[in-house]
Amino acid sequence: MKEVKRYIQSFLSQHKIDISSGKTALFDEFVSDEKNVNAVKIIQENQKMIMQNWILKNRIDDILTQTVSIPNGTVNKKYQAKIDFSTLGWNDFISFEINGLENTGLEFNEANEMLFGIPKISGDLKISILFKIDGEPEDSVLNKKTLTLIINPDPKSLWKNLESDKNDPFWKPDSEAVLEGFLDKNIVMSSKRGRSHANAGSFREDDFVFKNFNQIGWSVVAVSDGAGSAKLSRKGSRIVCESVIQYFEENLNPENLKEFDEVLANHHNKLSDVTSKKINQFVYENLSKAVHFAHQKLEEFAIKNKTELKDLHTTLIFALVKKYDFGYAILTFGVGDCPIGLLNKELTEIKLMNWLDVGDYGGGTRFITMPEIFQDDKFSSRFGFKLIDDFSYLMLMTDGIYDPKFVVEANLEKIENWRGFIDDLKGKNEDGIQVEFDKNNPEIAKQLSAWMDFWSPGNHDDRTLAIIY
């Protein structure tokens, strides 16, 4: 009764009606009237209902207008994000469901509140959360909150793959992959036109070639990277690779190799300055002649086709290899920024068989088309030699592989980087593409070609990789 009296008294006061002392008895009688008591109870219940309705309405509006950020995703790339109800303050949800994920490649796990999957479509996906909070009637309509999830396109899909002009007199396939025997090992090679060239319908500028000289027990592999700024570099890279093969075809014979074989045997039995000097002399004389021969072929082509030598700018690396009873002799040459890596059998050591033309020239590479490289004091240091009992891999690559996988020259000297590179080749990569280095695997060339489609932001140059294993 006291509560009813206070309520009526407050109500009258709001309307500027005060109860005088002479009216106290009358007021007490008024507030005791059952009709007035019931009226006050009804009013208070209605006020309480209004307050509860407002609190619910306001809470729902807070949820609907609450900013919720979800990490962006990318088409064909694994996605996972937590919609943390507790952190968002959604502990008062008594029921909810997620709509809008149909045909997106995504799903929502209510148990751990994870949104996950591999997005199939790009754009601003609208995800609806239909919910009901504590206090809402059971038969009330579910509230709808919309979240926006931005799915970016697969960057690979933004690149065109236009065929190069097959009618061009210097055309060559946009992609090549080869598996063959190499001495008592195998060689797998793949060369693929870069996305930047495919997008414009231009040519693959890299090249490679190899040959087994079975009659004398030697094998040779060459890799070249035509300069993107040179209009006929695709032809230049082809010329230098084929010229190296041609030179050794014409000049390697048992007679002039007999002395070298004897020197190597003596060197293996007992290292000495004498044998080392003779080996270095043989390497320099024979390989430098092959290099001069390749340069000469470039000059002849330029004259014949009335073009400048710089239009044929290309790098060149090659390795001449022979297996002996006591191990493998590996002779190399390199000009440009393409590395040759030799990994021992146990994968504990890496021998970089050439130095790269970076740094000293401010990042600008050197090309075999440049006459000045032959007069340079460092020309003789471009040749390498290694006698090794056995090895796991001998790799030659262009910077289309080296740049994204090793990033800087210093990393080429670190065995852990090469181990990581081999793990990458064997399937430890975003796409899970595996190259199986089994001598009995006939699919390895296809596997290597597929692996070379890896995505690396900013690295869209031609890619060539030759692996002896």
Nearest by Cα to 218 from 282, 267, 261: 261
The pLDDT, as a whole number, for residue 2 is: 87
Retrieve residue 59's tokens. Answer: 């809470």
The whole-number pLDDT of residue 364 equals 67
Q: Which residues make Cβ contacts (< 8 Å) with residue 302, sequence separation at least 6? A: 308, 309, 311, 312
For each of the chain's 469 residues, which pLDDT tens digit applies?
889 999 999 999 999 999 999 999 999 999 999 999 999 999 999 999 999 999 999 999 999 999 999 999 999 999 999 999 999 999 999 999 999 999 999 999 999 999 999 999 999 999 999 999 999 998 999 999 999 999 999 988 889 999 999 999 999 999 999 999 999 999 999 999 999 999 999 999 999 999 999 999 999 999 999 999 999 999 999 999 999 999 999 999 888 899 999 999 999 999 999 999 999 999 999 999 999 999 999 999 999 999 999 999 999 999 999 999 999 999 999 999 999 999 999 999 999 999 999 755 445 689 999 999 999 999 999 999 999 999 999 999 999 999 999 999 999 999 999 999 999 999 999 889 999 999 999 999 999 999 999 999 999 999 999 999 9
Residue whose C-alpha is closest to residue 314's, from 233, 218, 390, 376: 233
Between vectors from CA 352 to CA 348 and to CA 353, what angle results, nearest 5°? 130
The closest alpha carbon to 170, from 338, 311, 337, belongs to 311
The DSSP code for 90 is -
Residues 6+ apart with CB under 8 A from 96: 129, 130, 131, 132
Report how far residue 398's alpha carbon sits from residue 380's, in angstroms, rounded to the nearest whole number.
Answer: 22
DSSP assignment of 296-309 equals HHHHHHHHHTT--G
The answer to whether the Cα torsion of 193, 343, 186, 279 is positive or negative is positive
Q: Say if CB 301 and CB 258 are below 8 A apart.
A: no
Which residue reads 């002479």 in tokens?
A: 22
* Prediction pTM value: 0.79
Mapped onto helix, strand or coil, the DSSP state of residue 55 is helix
Q: How far apart are CA 389 and CA 407, in angstroms?
A: 30
Question: Distance between CA atoms of 217 and 252, rounded to whole angstroms?
Answer: 10
- Residue 361, pLDDT score: 45
